[in-house]
Structure 1
Amino acid sequence: MAEVYSHRADGEVLLERGILRPLLTGEDVHRYSEPRWTWCCIYPYRLEDGRTVILEEREIRTRYPRAFKYLQRFRDELRETRVRQKTNPRYWYSCHRSRDMNVFETRRLITPEISHGPNMTICPAGIYHNTQVYSLLPRSSVSEPLEYWLGILNSRLLWWFISRTGVVLRGGFFRFKTNYLAPFPVVRRDNGKRGNAYKQGRLVAGVQSAQELRKRARTARTPHDKTSVERQILASDQQLDHLVYELYELTDEEIRIVEDVA
């Protein structure tokens, strides 16, 4: 059982853990930082032969009686929503966009959908998110580790690319979704260029160091410790950017152009 606070019920409710999923919002996702969730959701689905299948009402009532009783309080409202959205009112408790559980149950990259600059990180399997967050999964044929992709996609080079090819939103924000990221060329391990494996290894090691620094920043106690870690994070990010420049063989002039991006 889990005791959680419900805004709709305006109080604490006791629900079965088996039907709850941790839920991230865009504000929970920060570059290189392990995501921490403060929300959870009732997720009435299961994986069956690799497919996301909704639980039948009788199964919820039997296996998760407390969750079912809680949902029943909003049954009429939820049913009306299903009708309005032209989805099956039989499953009045369903999510409007259930998503593919295979994605949520996989270790992957995540990003706020809207951000001022890259704010990507690695998300452990089993953590879900709302529509403010976007998941990125390399194809199964990809051999490079997630840390390698993370270093490239969090770089100033990617930010320069997005700021030149994406659509600017109010406040200078941009969308970080597949259709905006897909055109960005990624230097692959098997592209035949000498020394790339070594460069890629350094980038992965640098990303792992950046992740550790974020953990230290969260546990820093004194102002001096916090300032010290913040300086190390700044230096680490700059080093990662230069490793990416090296990987892409940018000239000094090209680097200057990239770093002129605000």
Structure 2
Amino acid sequence: MEKQHINLSTLQCREMEKIITSLIEKYKTEYIICFGCLNDAKTATSCFIEDVKQSNTHYFLLMITTDITRIEHEVQDYVNNFFEKATITIVVHGMETVTNAIAQGSRFFTAVCRDGMQLYSANGLRLNIDYPNLNPATTFSKAQKHYYHRFGMALGFLESAGVCYDNGFYSNCMFELHQAVVNNEIANIIHKSRSNAITLKEFCGLPIVGVKTGFNEGFITDLAPGPFIKSYVFGRDIKKYQPIKPNNNIIFSYDNEFKIVLVETEKEIYSVLNTHKQKLSNRAIVKEGLKNGTKCWYEYQQVNKSLNYDDEYIVYPNVSLGNNFTLTTGAVIDMTAFLIKSNSRYLLAILNSKLIAFLMDIWSISRRGGYLEYKVQYVEKIPIKNISFDEQQTFIKIVDQILEAKKQDRDTTTFEQQIDALVYQLYELTPAEIAIVENSANAKANAPEVHLQDSFE
């Protein structure tokens, strides 16, 4: 098929200027590309009035953002209300999503980014991506397989939506229409996981990001742990159920109330800090605080003061290959990891289960090699069955066995399988639904291993 490039007239470009300006002011926009434009012109003729000419233009836009949060519905609602002179359909995705899709052979994103008309770029440059050569036969085969898999199921939901509409059940109608375009089996798993459950946020609060020093080299030390020296945990140090064995210690110059401690009397600690004083003093936030007397030159850029680092918490890496939740006590967590203010063994079992790994694979942003971004907005909505403490005991006993076995480097496969079986039963999955989750886990396990460095490290 011959490539068709999008071109807009001068008048159409002027028409788009207002909406583009508004979008880049409201959202973190990298690029806006027009990939379609429909012009509908009509003339009304009557013997009573002069001829009336009417025209309407429908623009199709791709907006690429720096934000990974999914905001396509919000943006579409915004342009619908803001811009009345023309119709706009806007697709919104993060930059990483677009580049990954193109690398995987997406015909849609390849055509839009390569042949569309770029209306805006934050850096003033043309979007520069290596576009693969698309194989029409492969594209057709994928589309055909997808069509036959989805059509019958979608038709059933569509018919159900019609019945709901005819009987005035409009909310149910909307739900059925949504299900018509979602894989039925996966939709059932998601629905069951949320049924009679609460979110992780409701269970124990939002996850908390680790500390941000602004210059790790100025604080990491070979000095032994003590009153102002703690173990320092990076995201890469955190593995599923594993006892954390950090390779670093860090100067932590705070008291129990998170007030900065004057460490000048601690000669060895002060010597480490003083070596990097200039760089530590020039860190963002700290530099401004020194000017107005609100900061000390060796305090962290960011530290959550609601925590007691001597307590036991659940922690996990911000970028992870599968679920890697475990417990830690007495360590400072780097910003490449998150902390959950709970040490519930029951919660730990749920978080490390194959079912939650399956859901996170649906919700999270993926990165190279199968890694996922475990951002707060994804983790906070993990569904937790809020059962009684007595009902949690079976989970708790098995998790304690796993934790003890991990300390001795013993295999825990059988224990983890028992946890998965309990989770399937708790969330009421059918054998067919369990097979979907297990197949997904097996596919992940057999994928080639790729190592990623911690984000922001």
Smaller-chain TM-score bracket: 0.7 to 0.9
**Structure 2: how far apart are the matches of 1:156 and 1:186?**
14
Note closer, same or farther for the CA distance 1:255–1:86 as it changes in structure 2 (3 Å cut): farther
Note closer, same or farther for the CA distance 1:246–1:22 as it changes in structure 2 (3 Å cut): same
**Structure 2: how far apart are the matches of 1:13 and 1:185?**
41
Q: Which of the numbers 219, 242, 264 marks the counterpart of 1:61?
A: 264
C-alpha contact (below 8 Å) 2:314/2:348 kept by paired residues: yes
**Structure 1: how far apart are the matches of 2:308 and 2:244?**
16
**Structure 2: how far apart are the matches of 1:104 and 1:83?**
23
TM-score (norm 2): 0.45
TM-superposed deviation, 1:99: 2.9
Partner of 1:38: 247
TM-superposed deviation, 1:105: 2.7
TM-superposed deviation, 1:13: 6.4
**Structure 1: how far apart are the matches of 2:217 and 2:336?**
21
Q: Which of the numbers 352, 367, 385 marks the counterpart of 1:154?
A: 352
TM-score (norm 1): 0.75
TM-superposed deviation, 1:240: 1.1
TM-superposed deviation, 1:34: 1.4
C-alpha contact (below 8 Å) 2:224/2:249 kept by paired residues: no
Partner of 1:131: 335
TM-superposed deviation, 1:202: 1.4
**Structure 2: how far apart are the matches of 1:179 and 1:8?**
30
TM-superposed deviation, 1:16: 8.2
How many residues are paired up? 221
Q: Which of the numbers 5, 16, 20 marks the counterpart of 2:229?
A: 20
Q: Verify: 1:214 aligned to 2:406, yes or no.
A: yes
Structure 1 counterpart SS, 2:382: coil
Q: Which of the numbers 150, 171, 183 marks the counterpart of 2:381?
A: 183
TM-superposed deviation, 1:88: 3.4
Q: Verify: 1:115 aligned to 2:320, yes or no.
A: yes
Structure 1 counterpart SS, 2:416: helix
Q: RMSD over aligned Cα, in angstroms?
A: 2.6
Higher relative contact order (CA 8 A, sep 6+): 1
Note closer, same or farther for the CA distance 1:46–1:246 as it changes in structure 2 (3 Å cut): same
One-letter amino acid matched to 1:134 = F
Structure 1 unaligned blocks of 5 or more: 1-6, 139-144, 191-195, 218-228
Q: Verify: 1:260 aligned to 2:442, yes or no.
A: no
Q: Verify: 1:79 aligned to 2:281, yes or no.
A: yes
- Of residues 91-100 and 238-247 in structure 1, the stretch that sits farther from structure 2 once superposed is 91-100
Note closer, same or farther for the CA distance 1:155–1:80 as it changes in structure 2 (3 Å cut): same
Note closer, same or farther for the CA distance 1:84–1:206 as it changes in structure 2 (3 Å cut): closer
- Counting aligned pairs with the same residue, the percent is 24
Note closer, same or farther for the CA distance 1:168–1:92 as it changes in structure 2 (3 Å cut): same
**Structure 2: how far apart are the matches of 1:164 and 1:179?**
13
